[in-house]
Structure 1
Amino acid sequence: MRPVLAYLLLVATLLPTFSQWGTIAYYHANKDYIAKVLCENRAKPQLHCDGKCYLAKKLTAQQEQQDKATTERVLKTPDFQLFFQLTLPFCFRQVSVGTVTKLPTYLLKNYSSPRSHPFQPPRV
């Protein structure tokens, strides 16, 4: 059952590709009838059209129909949003300078003044 289903899905997927080949096969099978009855240039045998104008018109119409169907299908396809990122507005807090009066003790223990640094420029 699985192989049959797999082949059916494969054929259904590739069917739009084969539609042009079907039109070309129909043209080759009925070339005489198309050249005598359906050809636009049947009154001008020096052009050697042999129904190629009919084939070109059919293939162009088929391509336009497929393009239109594809465009409609794409436009009607719903959009699914998979990810969402929450963006919050950023606000600056105003801090007054007078609120910080004393440094924490852990900062004071390891602090060294710039004057005691060993690499200083020479004094003039």
Structure 2
Amino acid sequence: MRSFIAYILLAAIMLPTLSPWGTIAYFKLNREYIAKVLCENRKRPELRCDGKCYLAKKLKQQQDKQDKETSQKVHNMPVIQLFTPQSYFYNFDPEVTVFREPVRFFHQLLFYAAPVGKLLRPPRR
């Protein structure tokens, strides 16, 4: 069952790439009908077109359709912005800043350094 699903998914992924080959296969299988009925140059046999003009026209239509779909997909694709410009500006004016209590940085440093000193000692035997 897994391999069946895998083949279906593979075919679905490969279908856009194989569509020109389908058109060519259709042309090869129905060459006589295309040359007699659908060819633009059927009334001028000296050109020896044999339906190649019909094949070229169909391949051109497929290519144009695929290009149009691709451009629409690219145009409608959402844009994910990974990097944002720096838009935040902080104006730090030291004259306006007032501390409510004195900064005791060294006291806090000693407070937190004491437990670390107890942890960093050689192991006992």
Q: Same fold (TM over 0.5)?
A: yes
For structure 2, the residue ranges without an aligned partner over 5 or more in a row are 94-125
> Could you tell me the percent identity over the aligned residues?
57
Q: Hey, what's the Cα distance between the residues in 2 that align with 1:85 and 1:7?
A: 46
Q: How well do the aligned residues superpose, as a CA RMSD in angstroms? A: 2.4
* CA distance in structure 2 between the aligned counterparts of 1:35 and 1:74, rounded to whole angstroms: 38
- What TM-score do the two structures reach when normalised by structure 2? 0.65
Residue pairs, 1:25-64, within 5 angstroms: 25-64=25-64
1:30–1:8 distance in 2 versus 1, CA, 3 Å = same
Matched AA of 2:39:
C
Q: How many residues align?
A: 95
Residue type at the aligned position of 1:43: K
Which 4+ residue blocks in structure 1 deviate beyond 6 angstroms?
none
Secondary structure of the structure 2 residue equivalent to 1:62: helix
Q: Which has the larger radius of gyration?
A: 1
Provide the TM-score with structure 1 as the length reference: 0.66
Unpaired runs of 5+ in structure 1? 94-124
CA distance in 2, matches of 1:83, 1:89: 17
